Structure 1
């Protein structure tokens, strides 16, 4: 049987991801307020005990709408995670009922790897990236997304450009989402693997499925990626029929490496 605490941990990770999205959205609204037209700054100051009561109705409505959207996304993601685990349990139960005991060990190993990868995902140390990956995996209908982490990675502890990992992953995934084509037989699938190396963080993307080669190639061009993340290196980029392999390296910052 699957250990129930693992499922609860998955729900907790999703809730934290929703919190991270909500925190980021609130910041966006605060930025919007700070950039308001000068006339707003001319409003006569009020006493501190009444200042909190004067909230822009439009901003308040926007925040309420965004919180509701994020709440719905979180509920949808939790439902998706629960559905995945229920499928695993039903498959195991079916093997037992059919007395296909030889199938149990390989499938349990598959579940063990899944638990390992989800555990490492929750420890990445980048709530915004975790939130994005969980939401993307739930919402994307163009291809299935799998994450592989051979080792634990704490992005916040690596001497990388701030936000470089999230911007890289987002650019690649959104590019594939735009230019993936409808599959005929086997579903399209994307696997992302991250590994720490001496000179930087290596991110491997492997896509199996149908896609618009000409348009995707432009999105994965080195100059395009450099506009997304400064000093990114393309280790390998191969586009074949039904298969794309992309390996990029995010180099460590020299000032931090010498500390």
Structure 2
């Protein structure tokens, strides 16, 4: 039993003392004492329960912050490892005198840096961090993020819509992950999320490549996670499991 329940039970049990007194010596003084004791015990119990809940919330927040820091460190280590691999590949080409391959490697690094810069400028910290940390989750789904031109969603979406977009994107990625769990583990599956600006909306296109099970079931799940939000989802008529999320800007 949680400590706050013990506090409430103890405060409630203490009321028995004035009740016994009232039964033993009935009278106005005993009745008044019972009322005062009951009120005091209730106030004490409420105060202690609130204090215990505040302590519990503070502990949960501390644990969440520790988990967030740990995830951030993992993401940084993963990115450092990726960049070291790219540099080692380029260094190998240079040593072998394969200048054309070296140029291709540099161009690939430049393109990746450009895309990561665009992702970081989306302006929604929780969403950006999720994208940056995703590769450390060790899941059988490759996630690629592309941003067309420059897109600063923090300047065009209200805080509530930013939060809704983040929650829907995370839920959608989870849906794509689970949609192909029954397939062959050797088969590569990829989800490409592309963001671009379209007049008074932002569009996030989710394009799945590989086996993702039943298209209709996946679509129903995507529509379910957008319920009670200002986002809407539409299917794109392609050979892939592709859907578009429409997020209205603040007008």
TM exceeding 0.5: yes
Provide the rounded CA distance (Å) in 2 between the counterparts of 1:109 and 1:197. Answer: 29
* 1:42 matched residue in structure 2: 46
Shift of 1:146: 1.3
Shift of 1:57: 4.6
Q: Secondary structure at the match of 1:89?
A: helix
Shift of 1:83: 0.9
Which structure has the greater CA radius of gyration?
2
* 2:134 matched residue in structure 1: 136
Provide the rounded CA distance (Å) in 2 between the counterparts of 1:231 and 1:65. Answer: 32
8 Å CA contact retained: 2:207, 2:243: yes
Q: Which has the higher contact order (CA 8 A, sep 6+)?
A: 1
Question: Structure 1: 5+ residue runs without aligned partners?
Answer: 1-36, 45-50
**Are 2:100 and 1:102 aligned?**
yes
Q: Secondary structure at the match of 1:227?
A: coil
Provide the rounded CA distance (Å) in 2 between the counterparts of 1:130 and 1:159. Answer: 15
Q: Secondary structure at the match of 1:130?
A: helix
From the superposition, tell whether residues 83 and 42 of structure 1 become closer, same or farther in structure 2 (CA, over 3 Å): same
Q: Secondary structure at the match of 1:81?
A: helix
From the superposition, tell whether residues 216 and 94 of structure 1 become closer, same or farther in structure 2 (CA, over 3 Å): same
Provide the rounded CA distance (Å) in 2 between the counterparts of 1:40 and 1:106. Answer: 72
8 Å CA contact retained: 1:200, 1:251: yes
Q: TM-score with structure 2 length normalisation?
A: 0.70
From the superposition, tell whether residues 61 and 202 of structure 1 become closer, same or farther in structure 2 (CA, over 3 Å): closer
* 1:198 matched residue in structure 2: 199
Provide the rounded CA distance (Å) in 2 between the counterparts of 1:217 and 1:119. Answer: 31
Superposed, which structure 2 residues align to 1:51-200 within 5 Å?
56-159=54-157, 161-181=161-181, 182-183=183-184, 185=186, 187-200=188-201
8 Å CA contact retained: 2:168, 2:226: no
Q: If each structure's helix is expressed as a fraction of its own residues, which one has the higher value?
A: 2
Provide the rounded CA distance (Å) in 2 between the counterparts of 1:40 and 1:66. Answer: 30
8 Å CA contact retained: 1:168, 1:229: no
- Count residues with an aligned counterpart: 205
